[in-house]
Structure 1
Amino acid sequence: MNVREAYKILRDKGIKITPQRQALLELFADEKSYTAREIAEKLRRHYPGFSFDTVYRNLKLYCRCGILTETMAPDGIARFSLNTGQHRHYFTCLACGEKVALESCPIEENKFNLPGKVGTITYHRIELFGKCAACEEGKK
């Protein structure tokens, strides 16, 4: 999914696209992940009245519409990113928010030794977090 497709989804659902909602959505064009707090700080530069609650409500709305995905980081803070619509797993840098797609799915490659009592897997999610190489080297 890209930002244009997201606008179409909102229009099709009858959701008004305000300048604030548009600005929130445009942040995700860079394909990074953000916390609600990071988004609120970025948007307040242009929209001083844009509250954290408004940001969070719109993020949840976008998730319900399938535009964004929400991932819970190890620190318990949710990170939001554009829903690519593909079955992919990602490494997320907790320092800069960079998302890196893994080349393959470990479940599909059967790289996990699952106990015999496990039946059919209908859904799975693999989340990897840490610091990207650039952040570890202090280049970002």
Structure 2
Amino acid sequence: DFEGKTDDKIKTMELVEELRSKRADLQATLLLDAFNKDRAAIPQPIPPPQMATLPAPPPPDARTQELINEKLSKAEALGEQGMVEEAQKALEEAEALKKLAAARQEPVPDPSKYSVADVRITDQKLRLCDICGAFLSVYDK
């Protein structure tokens, strides 16, 4: 009861405010420590090794290149004649030939060469959204 004791009331309010400030600082420090501890427990991604520049893929064999050139010239001629759809089809065929030639030259990757470090599916702690079903981080609000 501080009835009529204004000075004591002011000192007590200042003390209460100081204690609240100290408590807030302590809570922030504890929360930050807990966050850093939790963050340290999350495995960090391994930085990718420095990639050497890959040599340009060799050009397709002569027969495939000849077919590609024929399709491109046919597409150009059809385009000049106003047959846009046919020209588009010829261009798509030429692109398909280019992809086919590139696929023949590239080795098929061996899935046994992948390691756990390459496939990081569970790096984050996730939860399922109740509304849309999307995966969300547990740290998101």
Q: TM-score, normalised on structure 2?
A: 0.22
* Structure 1 or 2: more strand by fraction: 1
The structure carrying a bigger helix percent of its residues is 2
TM score, norm. by length of structure 1: 0.22
The one of the two structures with greater contact order (alpha-carbon pairs below 8 A, sep at least 6) is: 1
